[in-house]
Amino acid sequence: MDPTQAYLPSQVFAPPGTGRAPRAFIAPQRYIQGAGVLAHIGRYLSLLGARRAAILISAGGQRRHAAVLVDSLRAAGIESVVCRFGGECSLPEIEKHAGALRAQNVGCVLAVGGGKCVDAGKAIAFRLGVPVVVAPTLASNDAPCSALSVLYTPAGVSIGLEFQPCSPALVVVDTAIVAAAPERYLVSGMGDAMATWYEASVCLHNEKAVTTIGARPTIASFAIGEICAQTLFEQGAAAAAAVADHVVNDSLETVVEANTLLSGLGFESGGLAAAHGYAQSFTAIPVTKAEYLHGEMVAMGTLAQLVLESRPEEARRVAEFFARVGLPVHLEQLAIEAGDRSALNTIADAALAFPFTGNMPMRIDAAVLRQALLAADELGAAVSREAGDASYRRLHAA
Ligand SMILES: [Zn+2]
């Protein structure tokens, strides 16, 4: 895509020189969640009036879900074009599908899969000028509800964000599919979701902070973040147990909503801060990037942010929850040596360069970030010794 065509939300919501940024809240038009809902996708898509839909799906997803999707669409009088997602949310992958679909006259793009497939679907729909419908098959991340994509090179190295002017038209989460996935994905989603409240809180209370769209946060997004964290503290362990048994119950439904809807709305309109700065910085360590999920890195970043905020008691409460469900609470659990100065310097520099780390209210430099991370590592290691690491070891058994 021509970079001059890129959509920059801050140019709309808060261009330079226009004074204090306004509050803004953005969200998908409809969110639908339940066991078996994917079999009714045709009915939901009929809301959009499209007669022809592109389905972006991986080869494995196609084997598991394509027949159900195509049948449901056909029953609603909607034709479908299946596009095989190659696995990376890269510009070549996005342009390839957008190019092939231009002649197909599709009325919407339906992305069915994990975070990268969902993000690629949003970017393809943007290029075609049609609505995107998102059907996540994992609750491991908060990509489904947002109007942005994380872009990678074809080799999988992160190269930044692409924003879209429209949020997804529909988000359809089939909890029977989420419950069939390994427990580690749901747990990772809890790590990503738990950061939401703490990051939104920093942004709401620091009047210089701005959200991912360049606006000021709303109280609504802060409140959504708060109920998200409360839900995880109360029901996270029960939901992890449900997904370990591949059972859909109320705890699982509630936590899937927290990981997908609450976390998504909360981060996009509530703002990000140091927790995500640390999480992105851990991807600079090759073994960590290769072996750990985004939400697992956000978990460690959340502990470090709470230390940075001088909130040791809250950091301990969060670490105890993370240890209970099996999220990393110290650096060794992300394959990082606390004594490796070169790795720690790399992490601190990368965390400092992340644009939303600057939403923290205090003076931040690389040394401050490194110090907070080491203190969080010590606190997490102590919690891990007391609480044990059985859940972590179970989720990470080869
Ligand atoms: Zn995240």
Poorest-pLDDT segment among 14-28, 54-68, 313-327: 14-28
Model confidence at 1: pLDDT above 60: no
Q: Please give the Cα distance from 101 to 170 (Å, whole number).
A: 20
Q: Please write the tens of the pLDDT for every residue from 333-387.
A: 999 999 999 999 999 999 999 999 999 999 999 999 999 999 999 999 999 999 9
Residues with CB under 5 A from ligand 1 (ion): 192
276 alpha carbon to ligand 1 midpoint, in Å? 6
Please tell me the least confidently modeled range out of 15-24, 102-111, 125-134, 235-244.
15-24
Position 357: which residue type? Answer: T
Q: What is the pTM of this model?
A: 0.96
Residue 398 is predicted with a pLDDT of 67
Digit-coded pLDDT (tens) for 40-71:
999 999 999 999 999 999 999 999 999 999 99
**pLDDT of 2 over the 60 cut:** no
pLDDT tens per residue, range 190-207: 999 999 999 999 999 999
CA 110/CA 73 separation, integer angstroms:
11
**Ligand 1 mean position to 105 CA, how many Å?**
34
Residue 161 CA, ligand 1 centroid: distance in Å: 12
Spacing, Cα 295 to ligand 1 middle (Å): 6
Mean pLDDT of 249-254: 98
pLDDT of residue 18: 83
Instruction: Flag the least confident range among 151-165, 283-297, 301-315.
Output: 151-165
The enclosing H or E element of 111 equals strand 108-113
Mean of pLDDT values over 317-330: 98
Residue 160 pLDDT? 85
For 269-299, the pLDDT digits (tens) are 999 999 999 999 999 999 999 999 999 999 9
42 and 73 in contact (C-beta within 8 Å)?
Answer: yes
Quote the mean pLDDT of the chain: 95
Percent of the chain with pLDDT strictly greater than 70: 98
Cα–ligand 1 centroid distance for 271 (angstroms): 11
Q: How far is the CA of 47 from the centre of ligand 1 (A)?
A: 30
pLDDT at 4: 46
Measure Cα distances from 14 to 11, 220, 398 in Å.
6, 19, 48
Q: Residue 190 Cα, ligand 1 centroid: separation in angstroms?
A: 10
Pull the structure tokens for residue 245: 């048994």
> Distance, CA 217 to ligand 1 centroid (Å)?
17
How far is the centre of ligand 1, averaged over its atoms, from the C-alpha of 197 (Å)?
12
